Amino acid sequence: MHKLLKMMISRGSRLVFLLALLALVGCRPVSFVRVSGTELVDEKGEKFLVRGTNLGNWLNPEGYMFGFGKCESPHFIDEMFRQLVGPEETAKFWAAFKDSYVTEADIAFVAATGANTVRLPFHYKLFTVEDYLGSNDPEEGFRRFDDVIGWCRKHGLKVILDMHSCPGGQTGTNHDDSYGYPWLFRSEALQREYCGIWRRIAARYSGEPVVLGYDLMNEPIPWYHFDKDELNALMVKVQRMAADAIREVDRNHVIIFAGTQANSSFAPFEGFCFGENEMLSCHYYSFGNPKYDDSAVAKFAAVGKKAGVPMYMGETGHNTYGWCKAITESMEQKGMGWTFWPLKKPDGGCWLRFKTPEGWNETVAAFAKSDRQSYKQLQNRPERAKALDLMRKFVENCRRENCTPDAEYLKALNLSVPSNKKGTEK
C-alpha cells in the first residue's frame, strides 16, 4: 500500500492520493463492543460488563407507572386520555411527556452513577405512519434515538435498542401494546414489517459505536398461551429473520436474542446456530418474594455457557434493597451484564423517583380505573380543566430536576450516588 501511494504521488495524482488516504483512515478500527466467546469486549479486547438501566415508560408507556391499574397498554392509556380531555390536548400531553421524561440530564445522571449502558425500549409505531402517542411521523423514532445516542456519546454510555412492542405483538399483554395474542408469529405481513423496521434502524446506525446492539424483541410468548410450544418455534424463526435483515446492512453490532416465556426459557434455542456477534437475553423478577433465590440466575448463566455466547440480564428489579443487592452480586460473579428496570417511576423502586401530583390518584387515575365501556359511562369524566392541570403537573414532576435519587437502591447495585441539587434526600 505504501509503495502504491508513492507511485501515485510521483505521478502527481493528488486526487487519487487523497482518496487512498481517506480509505486508510476509514479502515481504522472503531470502538464497537463485540462478542468474544461468552463475554462482551471493547475495542481493546477488554471485558465489557454491561451495568445500567432501562429508559422504561418513555417511548412505550405502561399503565402501572402512571398508577392506572387495568388501563395498562399504550393504546389503552392514549384512549383514556382522549376520553378525558380530547384528542388535541392528549397530543399536546404526549409531546410534552416525550420531551420531558428522558432528557440529557437523565443520561448525565446515569453516567454519574458509574453505569455504562442504557437499554432503550421503543414501540415499532415510532417508525410508521400509524397514529401513536399523538403523532404519525415515521421519522420520530430516529429523532428520539439520535437524541439519546448523542447524549450517551457525550457522557460515555452505550445504548441497547430494544423493540418492546413489535408489529402485531410478540407477547399478547400490556407491554407489547397488542390485542391479547402474539399475532406477529401468525402473519407473514407483520413479520415483513418487523424485519423491515429493524433493517431501517440498522442501516441508519451501522457505523455508530455508541449503539451496543439490537435487542430483537421483549419478553415474547408468556407461559399461559395454549399453543405456546408452536409459538416458541415460530419465535426463534422470526428472530433469525430479523437478525438476517440486520446483517444485510450492519455487521458491526451485537444482536440480542430473547428467550421465550418472557425471556425466562431457552429450550427453543437447543441446537441453535448462533452467528458472529450474537448473544442471549434473560429477564428475572421475583414479585412479592424478598428472599433471593440464586437458582434462576445460575440457570441462565449455564445456558449462556452451554450455547457459547454471552447471557445478558435485560430486566430485573422491583424488589427490596437486599434482593437487588444479592442478584447484582450474583450476576457480576457469573460475568453476566445487567440493566435494571426502570430508571424512574412515581413512588420509587428504581433509580429515580418522583411524586404524582396531588389529586392525580383521585382524578386521573380514578377515571382510568373506572368502567368506560359505554358512552353513558364516559359522561362521568372529571372536570376537564382539573385533569389538564394534573397532566401538566405530571409532566413537570417527571423531569430530572424534580426527581429524587434512591440512594439505597443505587448502593444495592454497587453504584455511586450522584449529588442532587434539588430533591436531595436527608
CATH number of the domain bearing residue 337:
3.20.20.80
| pTM recorded for the entire structure | 0.92
End-to-end CA distance of the chain: 64
- Does 422 map to a domain? no
pLDDT tens by residue, 269-288 = 999 999 999 999 999 999 98
pLDDT of residue 30: 56
Q: What is the pLDDT of residue 18?
A: 35
Q: Classify residue 178 as exposed, middle or buried by CB count within 10 Å of its CB (0-12, 13-18, 19+).
A: buried
Q: Is residue 54 part of a domain?
A: yes
Per-residue confidence (pLDDT) for residue 419, from 0 to 100: 81
| Domain-embedded: residue 21 | no
- With respect to residue 419, please indicate whether it lies within any of the assigned structural domains: no
CA dist., res. 175 & res. 311, Å (int): 23
Residue with cell 445460575: 298
Q: Which of 58, 314, 63, 318 is nearest to 173 (CA)?
A: 63
Residues present in the chain in total = 426
Look up residue 132 and give its three cell numbers: 401513536
SS3 338: strand
Residues of the chain falling short of pLDDT 70: 1-30, 420-426
Question: Number of H helices and number of E strands within the chain?
Answer: 16, 13
29 inside domain: no
C-alpha cell at 415: 453504584
Summarize pLDDT for 380-425 with one digit per residue, the tens: 999 999 999 999 999 999 999 999 999 999 999 999 999 865 433 3
Whether 16 is covered by a domain: the verdict is: no
Residues 6+ apart with CB under 8 A from 426: none
Residue 128 is assigned to a structural domain of this protein: yes
Q: How much is the pLDDT for 426?
A: 25
Q: Which residues pair with 146 in a beta bridge?
A: none
Set of cell numbers at residue 254: 451485537
Give how far Cα 211 sits from Cα of 38, 71, 116, 206, 355, Å.
Answer: 20, 33, 12, 9, 32
Q: Please provide the DSSP assignment of 177-221 as one string.
A: T-SSS-GGGG-HHHHHHHHHHHHHHHHHHTT-TTEEEEE--SS-S
E-strand ranges in 247-403 read 254-258, 278-284, 311-316, 337-340, 344-346, 352-354
Q: Which domain holds residue 94?
A: 49-412
Tell me 21's DSSP state: H
| Model pLDDT, residue 21 | 36
* Residue among 88, 168, 95 nearest 128 (CA): 168
Query: Please, which residues have CB within 8 angstroms of residue 271's CB and are 6 or more apart in sequence?
Result: none
CB 55 within 8 A of CB 118: yes
pLDDT of residue 421: 58
| Domain count along the chain | 1
**For residue 35, is it within any domain?**
no
